[in-house]
Chain A
Amino acid sequence: MQLVTDTIAWLLDPANWGGNQGIVTRLLEHAVFSGISIAIAMAIAVPAGIWIGHTGRFAALGTNVANLGRALPSLAIIGLVLPITAAIDPQLGFKVYPTLVAMVVLAVPPILVNCQAGIAGVDRDLVEAARAMGMTERQIVRGIELPLAMAPILAGLRSASVQVIATATLGAFFGGGGLGRFLVEGIAQRDDGMTFGGVVLVAALALTVEGAFIVLQRVIRSPGLARMEGARAAAGAA
């Protein structure tokens, strides 16, 4: 019970929310840092995944990248990148870059594989029909494959985001900012209220982002696809 009251007291104390080491600042650091990583990873993985999925070339490469991503623990990436970035930039190389590199490296495989699998999983008959109708490859990708593959692509972004938020938390143990700082300081100072408060905030952020993606997966759908499934459901009900 002591733990619960300590945690509530810590979370409710306005002094913990403001300032340049407060909850609001740490939350923004965490979100901005994660957003930048996802944006960089998307810039790499989305075009590559679409290209591999559409052309079917280097399909094994995509799968292997994903398998390698799983065997590379985030902590090992942070550790291995750290001496390199620290040598290049003694200031930020110690604090920001190792975690940023790890976040991007870990976000690329899920985005890439889901993009590739989603595009490649689109019914080939549809693609052939589109081609026969005279659509260009670019039109096929934009008009047919991307809308139909939207669900797996979003699923990839979702698991990449969860992964990135977890890695950003870990980054705090290597001099980075973000909500993980409360875990670092709470553990070091044996302040259970702060530690557990940090846990609540980190878990809430991860679950909120996951929940937002679940909503997004329902909302972002091709109107044609929604109509088609609506019609199918109506036919099924009749």
Chain B
Amino acid sequence: MIEVSWALDHLDDLAFRVAQHIELAAIPVMIGFAISLALAIWAVRRPVVRGPIVSASGVLYTIPSAALFAALLPVTGIEIQTAVIPLTLYTLLIYLRNMLAGLDGVAPEVIEAADAMGYGRWQRLLRVELPLALPLIVGGVRLASVSTIGLVTVSGILGDRFGGLGFFIFEGYRHNFGIEIAFGAVPTILLALAVDLVLQRLQGRLTPWAPRTVRAIDPGRADPGRAVAGGAA
């Protein structure tokens, strides 16, 4: 059984690539969150900038991932930012749509009540609007995490220093060795599913008041509530 012995011999490599995969996914998910939150608050405060911000993140989301990684290679070289910047850019649309939908969903009466109680703008944002938007915001984190875990594999086109578990997929293809490909592909899928499950639990814990029907907005999916109005995705 050459396959089994090969797999046992490469457990160290697997551990290294899993750690790298998590690192390459976690950094963009966190940086993307911070950038998107700032942009979402800006867009809510100044409706003029809202359209351009959402359109720009939509354009970035449309560019195929292999192309965006390759685009940075001549600019930033074989450094971690070459992998992290595109991955961060892809999270923006997912975050923004959920944050904006969450903030839009705060009832005007609630905002008026907060104003009447003497909340300042920032205080109202922190204590009233953001907590009410939390179910969708956390839903956005969940979608962004799962999508980034998948995209990390593509960073393997930048060379052996990147790719996380995707390294094994490229390497296995070069060696024409199916087990090595599976060594990368199967743990990637399991990692995505595991993170989705953990964040789903966390979503329930963080926002116990939210109905279970609150669904994050997936840029790849129409919004059934607006289907008839024709304003989907």
Contact = CB atoms under 8 A, between A and B. Distances in A.
A104 interface: no
A173 B232 contact: no
Interface in B176-233: 176, 178, 181-182, 184-186, 188-189, 192-193, 196, 218-225, 227-228, 230-233
A151 B223 CA distance: 11
Contact of B71 (A151, A163, A184, A199): A199
A151 B189 CA distance: 32
B178 A83 contact: yes
B172 A79 contact: yes
Interface size bucket, A side? Answer: 35 or more
A46 interface: no
B81 interface: no
B42 interface: no
A195 B68 CA distance: 11
Contacts of B47: none
Contacts of A80: 181-182, 185-186
Interface in B94-144: 143
User: Considering residues B153, B178, B188, B232, which has the most beta carbons from chain A within 10 angstroms of its beta carbon?
Assistant: B232
Contacts of A206: 62-64, 67
B232 A114 contact: yes
B19 interface: no
Contacts of A110: 220-221
B169 interface: yes
Contacts of A149: 227
B65 interface: yes
Contacts of A109: 220
Given A71-B150, A203-B63, A121 B228 contact: yes
Contacts, number: 179
Contacts of B143: 70
User: Considering residues A76, A86, A113, which has the most beta carbons from chain B within 10 angstroms of its beta carbon?
Assistant: A76
Nearest to B64: A166
Contact of A121 (B67, B150, B224): B224
Interface string B80-102: 00000000000000000000000
Contacts of A186: 70
A73 B233 contact: no
Contacts of B64: 165-166, 169-170, 202-203, 206
A156 interface: yes
Contact of B227 (A151, A172, A196): A151
A70 B215 CA distance: 15
Interface in B40-88: 59, 62-68, 70-71, 73-75
Contact of A79 (B66, B67, B182, B225): B182
Contacts of A105: none
- 5 A-B pairs with the lowest CB-CB distances in the bound complex, closest first: A73-B150, A121-B227, A83-B178, A166-B64, A152-B222
5 contacts: A70-B146, A76-B150, A110-B221, A151-B232, A202-B63
